[in-house]
Each structure stands twice: as C-alpha cells, then as structure tokens.
Structure 1
C-alpha cells in the first residue's frame, strides 16, 4: 500500500506501528502521494490534496503555531481561508509528547 515504506518507517514511532497499520487497514479510501520521503514538501502537497477534497477538517491541534510549513497550524489556517469548516480537538490537559 505504501509507495515507500521509508515514509511509514520514519514518521510512525515503532511502538505505534501496529496500531497505525490497523487503522490504515480500516480506511475506506487511502490516497498515496507521489513522494519517496516524508519531507516538508510531501506534507504541504498532502495538505493541499486533502483540503481540495474535504468539506470539513477535524484537526487534533493544541492551537500553537507550526514551526514550519506543512504543520497543523498552517493547514487549519488555510482551511479557514478556503471556507472549509474546521473542528479542532484538543483534550483538556493534553500535552505534546
């Protein structure tokens, strides 16, 4: 399914890999981007593709600005600019790990 296992292996922590694979297996539709590595450009392109195909964005986000392009803050901002409805989920007491 993955165009390159490198992306999965570099972006998914080893202790989350099994759960990631289970969730991916439940997906109705998976879009695989044409990138060999999970780079910032790949994230920006994936965000663009996603925003172009959704009516609503549900973001798990702490409300903090992104360090660079392609992060959650940028995609939330761009969704709002495009008029895409945005729902932010951040459980009370949650922290970045």
Structure 2
C-alpha cells in the first residue's frame, strides 16, 4: 500500500490540465498499484486533478479540508461541481478544527497531508517560496525536511495563469 499526498499550484492554465493529468497518470502507475491511497485538499488546479486521477486509477481518495466553511467560503462556483464530485467519492474526509479558512487552517491542512504521505507529489514549477507561507514550494521544503520523497510533476506545456 502506498500513500501519495499532493501539493500544487491552484492557478494552472486551462491548457495545462491535459499534460498535468498525463504526467500524474504515469506517476500513479509507477507508484500506485493495489492499495493506492491519494491524499488531497481538492483545491482547484493540481489538487483536484490529482484526486481525479487517483479515483480513475481505482485508488482510495482521502480529502483534507482546511476548515468547516471551506466549501462555502473558498470554492469558486466554477470549481464547485468538480469539488463536490470528488468530495462525494472520497473514502475518508478529514476536516481541520477551524471554523473559517485562513493561514492557520491551510497550514494545518498541509501538515495533515504530509503526516499521511509516503511520498509527496508536487505539481510545481520549481520556483522558490514567496515568503507568504503555505504555498507549494513551502510544502515541498517541509516534506524534504521531514525526509519524505518528493516527485515533482511539471510537464512540458504546464503553466500558471497570469
């Protein structure tokens, strides 16, 4: 049994979805197999693409939500149907003990994702942390500090909006 947790950019371009999905599918084939568990916060972008591919690979999805109000206050109306489908398909949902989303809730969710990880999948462009805390680069740094293997996924054609 292998538990793969994910971190990644939320602001992937629409054209990035296909190449990122293909790269994730290949990675899941390498590390998955019987007993695959995927841990994700199912945020828009990388987290949701990863979660969807875990389900397509017949893996068990564990969802970590940063706060009780996350769906209502953070999930965009455009992302909501995908979010709801992934949440309904989850084998387990863990909600951090925060009423409202915010830095502390996100940091707790990131820590919970890492606590469960055998490996971390990072859909990441490799850029250093911004200094704001809680971003993809910060999670990668923390995983490496903990000795968790990190698989970086950033295929040709992947890009961030803006």
If asked which structure has higher relative contact order (CA below 8 Å, sep 6+), I would say: 2
Structure 1 residue ranges (4+ consecutive) displaced by more than 3 angstroms after TM superposition: none
- TM-score normalized by structure 2? 0.53
Q: Among residues 71, 94, 108, which one is paired with 1:45 in the alignment?
A: 108
Tell me the alpha carbon deviations over residues 14-62 of structure 1, each in whole angstroms, 9 at most, x when there is no partner.
1110011101111222211011111011111111122122111112222
What does residue 32 of structure 1 align with? 95
| Equivalent-residue separation in structure 1 for 2:72 and 2:155 (angstroms) | 27
* Structure 2 unmatched runs, 5+: 1-64
TM-score normalized with structure 1 length: 0.84
Give the root-mean-square deviation of aligned CA atoms.
1.8
What corresponds to 1:16 in structure 2?
79
Q: How many residues align?
A: 95
